[in-house]
Amino acid sequence: MTKSFSEDTLILNALSPGITSMTAVYSALTLFTNLKKDGDTSSRFNIIFFQEDGPNYLENFTLNPEYIIMALKSLEPAIVKGNVGGGIFLGIAILIDVFKKISEKSFRLIILTDSGTPKISKLYLPVLETMIDQIKNMPFFMDIIRIDIEDLEEDTKLMKLAGICNGSIYRINNVDSLPSILEILALKREVSSETKYNSKQISIPKENQQFYINLAEYPIELTRPETCSICGLKDYNAMVKCPNCGIVAHKICWALWTEESTIGIPHIFRCHNCYNLIKLEKDFIEKVKLAKKVKEAQILPQKNILDIKEYLESLETQDGPKIVHIHDPMGIPSEEFIEEGYNFNENREEEIATEDGEEVRFILCPHCFKMITNQYKRCPNCHRILKN
Ligand SMILES: [Zn+2]
Ligand SMILES: [Zn+2]
Ligand SMILES: [Zn+2]
């Protein structure tokens, strides 16, 4: 069985201003966003575009696509061609952040490239493949539009990346064909909803489950008497609260609630008040469910999850989202730097673990899933040990 979700679309603009007319891009993007809004009013948008010293994006996805065009226009003279590899990393990081807080969405990354767009460094590829494979279950789709580019080798590279998440490459001769491609891409992507847990989510294969388990947070344990937001009883014992919105519930009530809002892994679920991704111990949930079967449960989750459309509207700010500028796309050197013999060791933050002559590679930290190089003994992000 297939179905589709409301979509959050992130446009990655890696076009070169001297080569592709931005005016044509604005009208194509306006057509695209209008089609998406016509199809589903809860469609949201964001954009990544580059200045000389790093990328920009909107701090939040927005229901109002005019903010995308306004952001581009406001910085147009300073826009430069984009580092696609770094842009994909940044895009994935932005989307993972939204996934942790919002339910019932598909995530789309649409990449615009032309003949001035730099190639993706080979150093990026293995870790990009791993990341895309892991987030494809959110669900995530990446499509790449290539305007007037003759480069079979780069096409093959990009095709492989897009293929991991059921995405495609679209090759066009000039920007005039951009609207017709975006018209196709404005259609929602279908996902298979065959899962034994919850029809609102797709199933997550075993090998990718650890990634989602690590994204989820444990609720905070409380010691003072509080009222449970699920069963309505005031209690001293085993009360926990959501680390994001602070809503309080019995741990056991939340364990029973998991079936209603699991993401496809039984002990990973969403808060009924704010959609935050939460986890409880696997054993605890199994015990609670077993007890429920043996004896009729005294406590049943009465609370319905809040309406996603109303929730998305409540997140919009009156003046629109701010433009965020970061200096270095994920601290990753571009192809040019690598070819000129960029010295990774000068940028180290922790002990270096690579032996002389060992090739420096990008890896994902197995604990926090941040992208790092293989030269660290401890992860510079979560500080856990990577190797002896
Ligand atoms: Zn309760
Ligand atoms: Zn919450
Ligand atoms: Zn880490």
Is the peptide bond prior to 139 cis by the omega test (within 30 degrees of 0)? yes
pLDDT of amino acid 41: 95
Arithmetic mean of pLDDT over the chain = 84
The end-to-end CA distance of the chain, in Å, is 47
Name every residue whose Cβ is closer than 8 Å to that of residue 36 and which is 6 or more positions away in sequence.
7, 9, 43, 45, 65, 186
Positive or negative, the Cα torsion across 320, 326, 331, 332?
positive
CATH of domain 2-192+313-329: 3.40.50.410
CA–centroid distance, residue 94 to ligand 3 (Å): 17
Distance (angstroms) between ligand 2 centre and the Cα of 31 equals: 36
- Nearest of 305, 370, 373 to residue 97 by alpha carbon: 370
Per residue in 89-122, pLDDT (tens digit) is 889 989 998 999 888 899 999 999 999 999 988 8
For residue 368, what pLDDT is reported?
74
Residues 6 or more apart from 345 whose CB is under 8 A from it?
352, 375
Q: Which residue has the higher pLDDT, 1 or 357?
A: 1
Cα 340 to middle of ligand 1, angstroms:
61
Comparison of pLDDT for 354 and 209, the residue scoring more: 209
Region(s) of the chain under CATH 3.40.50.410: 2-192+313-329
**46-55 mean pLDDT:** 91
Q: Calculate what percentage of the chain has a pLDDT beyond 90.
A: 48
Q: How far is the CA of 304 from the centre of ligand 2 (A)?
A: 13
For residue 256, give the ligand nearest its CA: 1
Task: For residue 231, report the distance from its CA to the centre of ligand 2, in Å.
Answer: 16
Query: What pLDDT was estimated at residue 176?
Result: 96
Sign of CA pseudo-dihedral 28, 55, 53, 148: negative
Tell me what pLDDT residue 239 has.
92
Average pLDDT over residues 281-310: 69
Residue 101 CA to ligand 1 center (angstroms) comes to: 23
Q: Give the pairing type, strands 371-373 and 362-364.
A: antiparallel
Average pLDDT of the segment spanning 271-296: 82
**The pLDDT of residue 69:** 96
Nearest ligand to the CA atom of 226: 1
Closest ligand by atom to 237 CA: 1
- What are 167-194's pLDDT values in tens digits? 999 999 999 999 999 999 999 998 876 5
Question: Ligand 2 centre from 309 Cα, in Å?
Answer: 17
Label each residue of the chain as H, E or C.
CEECCEEEEEEEECCCCCCCCHHHHHHHHHHHHHHHHHHCCCCEEEEEEEECCEEEEECCCECCCHHHHHHHHHCHHHEECCCHHHHHHHHHHHHHHHHCCCCCEEEEEEEEEECCCCCCCCCCHHHHHHHHHHHCCCCEEEEEEEECCCCHHHHHHHHHHHHHCCCCEEEECCHHHHHHHHHHHCCCCCEECCCCCCCCCCCCCHHHHHHHHHHCECCEEECCCEECCCCCCEECCCEEECCCCCCEEEHHHHHHHHHHHEEEECCEEECCCCCCEEECCHHHHHHHHHHHHHCCCCCCCCCCCCCHHHHHHHHCCCCCCCEEECCCHHHCCCHHHHHCCCCHHHHCCCCECCCCCCCCCEEECCCCCCEEECCECECCCCCCECCC
Whole-number Å distance, alpha carbon 5 to ligand 2 midpoint, is 22
Q: Which residue has the higher pLDDT, 263 or 165?
A: 165
Q: Which residues contact 288 (CB under 8 A, 6 or more apart)?
A: 252, 255, 256
Residue scoring higher pLDDT (101 or 293): 101
Q: Which ligand is nearest to the CA of 273?
A: 2
**Percentage of the chain lying above the pLDDT 70 cut:** 84
What pLDDT score does 349 carry?
41
What mean pLDDT is predicted for residues 197-208? 68
Say if residue 359's pLDDT is above 80.
no
| Structure-model confidence comparison of residues 212 and 371, the more confident one | 212
**Mean pLDDT, residues 260-280 taken together:** 89
Give the model's confidence band at 227: pLDDT under 50 very low, under 70 low, under 90 confident, else very high.
very high
Q: What is the pLDDT of residue 59?
A: 93
Q: Look at residue 81 in the predicted model and tell me its pLDDT.
A: 86
* 386 CA from centroid of ligand 3 (Å): 8
Q: Is this prediction's ipTM beyond 0.95?
A: no
Of the ligands numbered here, which is closest to the C-alpha atom of 377? Answer: 3
Residues whose CB is less than 8 angstroms from the CB of residue 34 and which lie 6 or more positions away in sequence, other chains included:
65
Task: For 296-351, write each residue's pLDDT tens digit.
Answer: 444 444 445 567 788 888 888 888 889 888 765 444 444 444 444 434 444 444 44
pLDDT at 31 over 90: yes
Does position 61 have pLDDT exceeding 90, yes or no? yes
